[in-house]
Structures are given as C-alpha cells and as structure tokens.
Structure 1
Amino acid sequence: MALLKIKLPFQKRVRLAQGLWLLSWVAMFSGAVTFAVGILLKTELVRREEVMHNNDIHIVPNLLMVVGLASVGINICAGKVCQDSLDTSRFPRWKTVLIPFFCVSLFFTTMLLIAMALSYILQPSLEESLKLGLKNGIRFYKDTDTPGRCFQKETIDRLQMEFQCCGNSNYRDWFEVQWVNNRYLDFTSNEVKDRVRSNVDGRYLVDGVPFSCCNPASPRPCIQYQLLDNTAHYNYEHQTEELNLHGRGCRQALLNHYRGLMNTIGPGVLSAFLMQMSVLLGLRYLQTSMQAVGQENMEVETEGYILEKGVKETVKELKEEMSRFFQGQVDAAPPAAQPKAEPEKAAMPAS
C-alpha cells in the first residue's frame, strides 16, 4: 500500500506546481543565506585562529558553505521541474533523473541537520581549544623576535581591547608568565636580578599586565604594575580597584561571542531544513502524480504518494536490490589467473 497517498486533480496539480516553484525560489534564497552565514562564521574563526589550539570547530562553517551551495543548485533544478510538469512533452525527460536527484537532495538536506547539531555539540571542544590557545598566546606574548610568533603580541593586544577582556581566565594569568622580552630588561638592575633569581625557571615575573588590559571606562589612570601592592599607589585597594582593568577573561569573552553566533545559526539552519524538506516532499507528490498522465489527456485525475509501498516493504526491496547489485559485482569479477603448468621434461635416453 502506498505511503501517504492523495488524489490530485488537474487543477490541484497546477496549483501544486506553481506553489512549489515559488517555494523553491524562497528555499534557494535560504540556501544562499546559509552559504553566507558559513562564510561569516569561517571568517570569524580564521581571525582568531592564532588563539585556538585546534580547528575542529571549522567543520561547522565548512558544512554550511557546502550545503548552502548545494541547496541553491537543488532548488534551481526543482523550479525547472515544476515548470516542466505543466507540459507533458517536457516532463518525461525528468523521469529517469528524479530518483537520483531525490537521493542527492536528501543527503545534502540531512547535512543541514548535522551542521546544526555540530554547532551545539562542538561548543565544549571550542572552549577547550580557546583555553589552550590563549594559554599559549599569553606565553608567547614576549616572543616578538621569534619567527612564527612575531605578531602574537599584536594579536593578544587587539583581542583584549576589542573584547574588553584580560588574560585567559582573568588578569592574574599574566602574573604567571614572563610577558616582557629580555631585550627590554635592564639586567644590571638589582630589582630585575632579584626577580629572575627568585624564580626557579629564571623568568622575570611581575604582578603587572599589558596596557591592553586597561579599562578606559575607569575614572582612574590605568595601573599596570604592582597591582597587588596597596602601598605602591595612593588611595589604592586592589580588592576594590578591579574596574581599573577588564574584569572578564578572554576565553569567556570569545566563547560568548562564538556561542552567540552558533546559537543564532541553529534556528536559521533548522528553518532552511524544514523549507527544503517541504520542497522535496511536494516535488515527490508532483512526480508520482505526473507518472499516470498521458500525452492525450493531461487533465485526468491522478494519485500522488511518498512511497509506492510501505516503509518496511521499501526497505526490504532496497536491501534485496543492494544484495543483487553486490552479488553481480562479485560474479562479474574475472577469476584469478592460474599459474601455467610447466611442461614435463622428456626423459633422456640412458647412454
């Protein structure tokens, strides 16, 4: 028994074709938007690539771009099918193409759901990637003379100013690394010598932060050094003066930024999926209802359905067809070449 069978008179088929043609163009625009959103997310991720430990999250924008382009092509073809379905002389050329077309379309449409799911599933991985990437970025902040790390300082400074953040988790992360290059340290100074000697690794550690951590909204001029010493500054209490610096860490700031993008993308991708599925289901009804239309009488009433048989019967037939296909491939394989037997040597007469 056919699945979800409905009767479609001529007028309903015409309205279905016209409605699907319009919906396919709307879905094509939705596919273009999906592609543009993928490019936007990809650009944002590439901009911060230096502070990410891995690129696992890049699979989301890559999928969105591929599926968006595929959706544009699918809906252009769907619109053409809808136009040709109103002409019995042009529609028959689509009969052999539509089944593979539906398979390809369903594959790419399913990828929309996968991209949406990954945008949520990979968020913990993104947080870990930012945590390790920012940790390395802060550690290499001073290496302005090292090839491959020359722009790390600029990257971190711009990041902290743009997102109004400081450090990985907070400003105290800068206390644990030497962020001043040795070329700018006076090693004849007793203070510098004492700080270097007091550290096991011989690093110059200070309770200070780079200028990019300063909060411009603070009424007080920025205090970058001796942040934990209340006596070093007039009328200063470091427990209550944190507004002098950006309070949140850059990991949380970036994570909120990317989560906001991906949480916005999710409902949009779901809408594109539902629209694309509506086009494919309507096109399936149009295809099956047109199969019974003859050249002589186009206005005959026909039936449309999603599957010619039930779900179990269809799955069973597909399994049998796949088994026959693979069995035929095995049977068609040439037999392995047998080694030729060496001719027996003639017996030599005894002398």
Structure 2
Amino acid sequence: MPFMSVKFTLQKRVKLAQGLWMLYWLSVIVGILIFSVGIFFKIELRKRSELMDNNESHLVPNLLILMGMLACGANAFGGKVCHDSLDPMKFAKWKPMLKPYLLLCCGFNILLLLTALLCFLMQFAVYLTLSEGLKNSIKFYKDTDTPGRCFMKRTLDMTQIEFRCCGNNNFRDWFEVQWISNRYLDMSNDEVKEVLKTSHLSLLSRVLSNVEGKYLMDSVPFSCCNPGSPRPCIQHHLTNNSAHYDYDHRTEELNIWTRGCREALFSYYSSMMNSIGALFMLTLIIESVDMAGLKYLSTALETMADPENPECESEGWLLDKGVKETFAEMLAKLKTLGKKNQVEEGGDAQEAAT
C-alpha cells in the first residue's frame, strides 16, 4: 500500500505544479546565494592567508562553491520538469529521467547535510590554524625585506585596525618578539646596544623577558592604538608608569586594543560559518519539500485513469510501499549487490589461479 497517498483533481495538480515551479526557482536563487557566499568566504580567507598556518580551512568555501553550482543545475532541471508536467507530450520526455533525478536529489541532500555539519565542525581547525599562523605572523612582522614576507607587516597592521585587536592572545605578545627590523635600529646608539646586550629579566621597566641579541621592548605597533582613547596613543614603554604623565598601566588600558586577534578573527569566521551552516539546513528543508512535491506530482500524473482527459482524478503518494517495506527492500538490494561483488571477486581469483 502506498505511503501517504493523496487524491488529486486537475485543480490540485495545477496548483502543485505551479507551487513546485516557484519553489524550485527559489532553490535556484538559494543556490546562487550559496555560490556567492562561497566566493566571499574564499576571498576573506585569501585576504588573511598569511595569518593562517595552512590552507585546510579552504575546504569549506570550495565545497560551498561546488554545492552552489550543483544546487543551481539540479533545481533548474526540476523547475523545467514542473513547468512541462501539465503537458502530456512534454512530460513524457522527462518521465524516464525522474527516478534517477530523485535518487540524485537524495544524494545531494545527504551532501548538504554533511557540508552543514562540516561548517560547524571545522571551526576548531580554523581556531588552531589562526593561533599558529598569528604567532608566526608576529614573529615575521619585521621581515619586510624577506621574499614571501614583504607584506606581512601590512596585512597584520590592517587586521589589527579592522578587527580592533592587538597581538595573538593580547597586546603582551609583542613584548616577546623583536618586531622592529634591524634596518631601522641605530646600532651606534648606546640605548640600542644596552637593550641588545640585556639578559633575562633585566631592566624590567623597559624590556620584558629579553633574550641576548634581540631588541625586545614593552611596546606595540601603531595599529594597536585605540582611536577612541581620550589621550594621545601610548605605544612605547607601556609598563613603565614613570615614562608618562598621569599613567598607570594596570588600570589605563583604553589606550590600545586589549582583545587578541585570534579571538577577534575566530569570532568573525565562526559566526560566518554558523550562518552558512544554518543556510545549508534551510536549503536542505527546501530541497526535501521539492523532492516530496515532485514525487507526488509524478505519481499523480502516472495514475490518471484517462490520460487524455485532464479532468479525471488521480492518486499521488510519497513512497510506493510503507516505510518499513521500503527500507527492507533497500537493504535487500544492498545485500544482493554485496553478494554479487563477492562472487565476482571469487570468480576472478579462480581464473587467476587457473
């Protein structure tokens, strides 16, 4: 007995076909949106690829672009079928393709679900690659003359300005690296010589965790400055209260951004990936409704008592049999395929032995 059967008149078939046609073209628009979001996401990742440790995070935008293209093609075909469904001559041309098309739609919906889950699960990988990439970016900030790192300074400065952040975890990350190039240090200056020769934990007011041979200071780049601060930006000697008038580094931190760039960038990318995952779940619902509607329409057209009389009633259903019977039949087919493969492998082995 068919599962969820419904009686259809001519008026109901026409309304179903028109509604499905509109829904399929809405799905095409959603497919274009997914494709566009994939392009945008890829561009956003490429803009800050220097701040990331690897290219694994590009798997999601590549899948978005692919799924957007597939959605446009599959739904445009479904819309054409619905448009021609009320013309018996035109529908006869599409009829043999409906079963393979519905199977392909099932596979497409599974891919949609997997891609949506991937958008949520890949966020941890993005967090790790940002953490390691930003750490290396800060380390290579001064290498403006090194091929492959020439634009690292510009990228990191623009990121800190745009996302209102400073450093990897916080602004103190800049205290642990030499971020000023030797090219711009006066090696004849006594102060520079003193800093370069300073050992661990000496001159704490000026140098934190210094290492011999590195120019480490309690300073940050200009891009860490908060333009909303009521006083001019203090970016040097941040931990030295006596170096500035009416200043206490323990309480006055409005001067620079205190949020780390890893947190800021991860928040930006994770919110984008969550939105994309939600879009895919919505697309999955629309695609499922499209599939169910097309199945009802095709069965309703096939069961017309008199195909030449469009006024006659017909019956449409979602499944040819009950849910249990359908699943049992699918499992039986899968087992049969498995046995056939085993027999073929055994036959090949016997032939090889002879």
TM-score (norm 2): 0.88
Is the deviation greater in 216-225 or in 196-205? 196-205
Instruction: Please report how far the alpha carbon of residue 126 of structure 1 lies from its aligned counterpart in structure 2 after TM superposition.
Output: 1.8
Provide the C-alpha distance between the structure 2 equivalents of 1:266 and 1:162, rounded to a whole number of angstroms.
25
Amino acid in structure 1 at the alignment position of 2:7: K
2:259 to 248, 254, 263: 248
Is the deviation greater in 158-167 or in 182-191? 182-191
- Corresponding residue for 1:209? 220
Matched, 1:267 2:282: no
Provide the C-alpha distance between the structure 1 equivalents of 2:301 and 2:77, rounded to a whole number of angstroms.
17
Q: How does 1:94-113 map to 2 (within 5 A)?
A: 94-113=94-113
For these two proteins, the number of residue pairs brought into alignment is 339
Unaligned stretches of 5+ in structure 1?
340-351
Provide the C-alpha distance between the structure 1 equivalents of 2:311 and 2:338, rounded to a whole number of angstroms.
43
Provide the C-alpha distance between the structure 2 equivalents of 1:200 and 1:57, rounded to a whole number of angstroms.
35
Would you say the 8 A contact 2:25–2:79 is kept in 1?
yes
Instruction: Please report how far the alpha carbon of residue 329 of structure 1 lies from its aligned counterpart in structure 2 after TM superposition.
Output: 5.8
- Corresponding residue for 1:174? 174
Instruction: Please report how far the alpha carbon of residue 311 of structure 1 lies from its aligned counterpart in structure 2 after TM superposition.
Output: 2.5
2:329 to 317, 323, 326: 317
- Corresponding residue for 2:29? 29
- Corresponding residue for 1:140? 140
Provide the C-alpha distance between the structure 1 equivalents of 2:183 and 2:46, rounded to a whole number of angstroms.
31
Instruction: Please report how far the alpha carbon of residue 143 of structure 1 lies from its aligned counterpart in structure 2 after TM superposition.
Output: 1.2
Q: Judging changes above 3 Å, is the alpha-carbon distance between structure 1 residues 22 and 200 closer, same or farther for their aligned structure 2 residues?
A: closer
Instruction: Please report how far the alpha carbon of residue 271 of structure 1 lies from its aligned counterpart in structure 2 after TM superposition.
Output: 2.3
- Corresponding residue for 2:124? 124
TM-score (norm 1): 0.89
Q: How does 1:335-346 map to 2 (within 5 A)?
A: 336=351
Provide the C-alpha distance between the structure 2 equivalents of 1:96 and 1:326, rounded to a whole number of angstroms.
27
> Partner of 2:235: helix, strand, or coil?
coil
> Partner of 1:220: helix, strand, or coil?
coil
Q: Let me know the Cα RMSD of the aligned residues.
A: 2.2
Q: How does 1:294-333 map to 2 (within 5 A)?
A: 294-325=306-337, 327-328=339-340
Provide the C-alpha distance between the structure 2 equivalents of 1:29 and 1:215, rounded to a whole number of angstroms.
41
Is the deviation greater in 146-155 or in 257-266? 257-266
Provide the C-alpha distance between the structure 2 equivalents of 1:338 and 1:117, rounded to a whole number of angstroms.
47
Provide the C-alpha distance between the structure 2 equivalents of 1:12 and 1:305, rounded to a whole number of angstroms.
14
Instruction: Please report how far the alpha carbon of residue 331 of structure 1 lies from its aligned counterpart in structure 2 after TM superposition.
Output: 5.8
Larger radius of gyration: 1
Provide the C-alpha distance between the structure 1 equivalents of 2:279 and 2:334, rounded to a whole number of angstroms.
36
Provide the C-alpha distance between the structure 2 equivalents of 1:276 and 1:117, rounded to a whole number of angstroms.
17
